[in-house]
Structure formats: C-alpha cells, structure tokens
Amino acid sequence: MVQDFGNETLPYGVFSTSDNPRPRIGVGLGTSIVDLSAASDRLSTGLRELANAEALTAFLHRDRSTWEELHSAVGEIAADPGDLVPQLGATMHMPFQVADYVDFYSSRQHAENVGRMFRPDDPPLLPNWLHMPIGYHGRSGTVVVSGTPITRPHGQRRGEYGPSFGPSQRLDIELELGFVLGNSTHLGEPVPVDNAADHIFGVVLVNDWSARDIQAWEYRPLGPFLGKSFATSVSAWVTPYSRLTKAKPPVQDPTPLPYLQGGEGPLDLDLEVWLRPAAADEPSQIGAVNAAQSLYWTPSQQVAHLTVNGATIRPGDLIASGTISGSERSEFGSLLEMSWNGTEPIEVGEVTRTFLENGDEVTLRGSVGGVVLGEVSGTVVA
C-alpha cells in the first residue's frame, strides 16, 4: 500500500524490487523509497556497513547516539535524494527480527471495558492496575509484517458439555502502538525511567489479532496464550521515536512508585481502524482514538517496569501498548468492545459485524498533523 510520508519522519523499512530481489533498508520519503544501501557512500564509515544490512536489527545493536547520527545523515540524504524507488511495486519485508515481545494492557478504558464484560460482579479494574503497567510475554516468532494473510486459528472453545474444537468464531483485532527497542542492557541492570528513551528506536502500528472464544476458555477473564500467539501484525515502516511529538505525561492517581515516576510523555497520535468486509470494494472507518488521551502508562514507564527485575533488553525487542480505547463506543480499539462482546453488531458499510469473517481486511492507521505512520493491514483467510 502506497502512503505519502512527506519528509518529516523519514521512516525505515526493508524492501525489495523485481529488478533487485535482495531485501535492503529503505527510507520512506513522500510516496517513494530512498535506497539506503545505494546511498551508503554518503554515510560515515561506521554507518555504511549497517546501512547495507538486510534488516534494521544491526542498528538496534547500537546505542542512541548512533541512531541519532543515522537519522541526521538520512535527513541530509532526503534533502537531496537522487534516484528514488517508487513504493508502488516494491515488496516490503519484516523490518527487524523480533527478539522478545511484550504486550502491555495500558489503556484504562480498555481494561475497564474487559473487566465489565468478564467480571461483571467485581470492580472493573483490579487493584494492581493503577500501580504498574500490566503486560504478558507474547510469541515473537509469529509477529508478521503488514500485508501477511492471517489464517483463522483453530483451538478449544467453551462448549455446552466441555470443550469443542474448531476454527475461532470470535476472531478480533486490537489497535495498538508498538515500540522497537535496542541498545542492549546487562542482566540484573534495570533501566531508569528517565533513560528509557535511550532504548526506544522506533514506533510501529500493531494489530494484536485475538481469538476471543479460545482466550475465554483458556483462562478468565481472557487468556494470553493460544488465543493470542497465532499472529501479531506490525507495520512495514518503523518511524524514529525521537522524531515524533510527545504529549504531556498523563495524570496518574495514585502516584506510582518512584521507579515509575518520570520519563517521556505518550505519543500524540490519532489512530484509526478501517475494515473492508469480504466482497466489499471499499473499506469503512469503524473507529478513531487519540493515543495520548487514551493510554495511562507511557512507553518510558513500560520499559522501566519490564526491566525493574533485572530482565534485559535485547536488540529487536518489541513492546506493544495494549489495545487503545477511548471513552466513546466509536473510540474503542477492538470489535469485542465495539460490539460489546458480540451482543451489539456494528455497521460496516452495507453489512454488519460482531467479529471478523473470512475475507475481511483490517487496516490500522496513525497520523498527527502532516505526520503519517506506516499503516498495518491484514486479511483473514480460512
């Protein structure tokens, strides 16, 4: 999918073309790609070898000063780019090798919605939620690049007399932001919250595909295992974190523990959910939400929390925000919430949906002002 990136964020991706099938690093500029390996003679010796790699992973092994040197050099190349490769016709690849993958649960409205649906007799938030960014370890090996078809997963579901088995009947999406980490840490050394940004290379959009029926039978309220691990899609373009505007940190009451106080504010981005139903020609927008207004915990706090026990950061670690939901129905980031657990179908163009049907294509978009994030798209197949 061709996107107009303008010239402000200069996102990184990995692409190939029919006349040169080698995957290589590119920079999104307008509706074109700057082939960084072809321009590598304009980079310093230290950056040149990294720019000729087949993924961004080599950069993620380096530190923030190298990243800033790269962004700055790329800015100069983009100002006078020479030959450009049209996005149209280029094939995009997974931009980095995912090391560890953590999915957080940092939107208060989303957590409360799920609590109301699955624990109706209890307060919607568990008492720990306001004291730490809750998360779980996901499956890094099934993180796929935008455009990869999503095979409807099979598994156990709740049946009338014990489990039934078959394809998920409640396949869902989750609208999330992802953060690509690098600049390794040593085992046993937590990252202070004020240094967290030294480890955040870039930002991707994430669709955390979820099989609600498999999740609901695995664990209450919702299991984080096979109902999640079949696929997670990320955008093909990684936008430099340092080039994106941060909003004011959210008001947090109660005040979190000292190790979570500080760091950078959330990203000010407007996010959209689009769904093209099977057989429809055009997608319909079914949701819109502002990330900064709807996320309680920031990426800085998430990095500080996930390392506070001494766990390491590895180059290529991916952390996702958790489903981003605002206060209105039109701002919810999953079909589970939009259709209130399948009880209230939503209108999508000419048809209605509770959960996804085969052939449905979901696209998540993000932008603010003229700044555009790489979108993430996927079509459900049987």
Q: Which residues are catalytic?
A: 110
CA distances from 294 to 214, 223, 303, 331 (A): 27, 23, 19, 9
Which residue's beta carbon is nearest to the bound Ca ion? Answer: 208
Least distance in angstroms from the C-beta of 105 to Ca ion: 7
Question: Which residue, 103 or 331, has its beta carbon nearer to Ca ion?
Answer: 103
Question: Which residue, 177 or 304, has its beta carbon nearer to Ca ion?
Answer: 177
Question: Which residue, 208 or 361, has its beta carbon nearer to Ca ion?
Answer: 208
Least distance in angstroms from the C-beta of 315 to Ca ion: 23
Least distance in angstroms from the C-beta of 143 to Ca ion: 12
- Rounded to whole angstroms, the maximal C-alpha distance in the chain is 67
Task: Compute CA 194 distance to the chain's CA centroid, rounded to the nearest angstrom.
Answer: 22
Question: Which residue, 10 or 376, has its beta carbon nearer to Ca ion?
Answer: 376
Least distance in angstroms from the C-beta of 255 to Ca ion: 26
Question: Which residue, 26 or 224, has its beta carbon nearer to Ca ion?
Answer: 224
Question: Which residue, 103 or 218, has its beta carbon nearer to Ca ion?
Answer: 103
3-state secondary structure the chain: CCCCCCCCCCCEEEEEECCEEEEEEEEEECCEEEECCCCHHHCCHHHHHHHCCCCCHHHHCCCHHHHHHHHHHHHHHHHCCCCCEECCCCEEECCCCCCCEEEECCCHHHHHHHHHHHCCCCCCCCCCCCCCCCEEECCHHHEEECCCCEECCEEEEEECCEEEEEECCCEECCEEEEEEECCCCCCCCCCCHHHHHHHEEEEEEEECCEEHHHHHHHCCCCCCCCCCCCCEEECCCEEEHHHCCECCCCCCCCCCCHHHCCCCCCECCEEEEEEECCCCCCCEEEEEEEHHHHCCCCHHHHHHHHHCCCCCCCCCCEEECCCCCCCCHHHCCCHHHHCCCCCCCEEECCEEECCCCCCCEEEEEEEECCEECCCEEEEEEC
Least distance in angstroms from the C-beta of 136 to Ca ion: 9
Least distance in angstroms from the C-beta of 162 to Ca ion: 28
Least distance in angstroms from the C-beta of 141 to Ca ion: 17
The vertex-216 CA angle with 215 and 218, nearest 5°, equals 65
Residues that bind Ca ion (CB under 5 A): 103, 174, 208
Question: Which residue, 174 or 375, has its beta carbon nearer to Ca ion?
Answer: 174
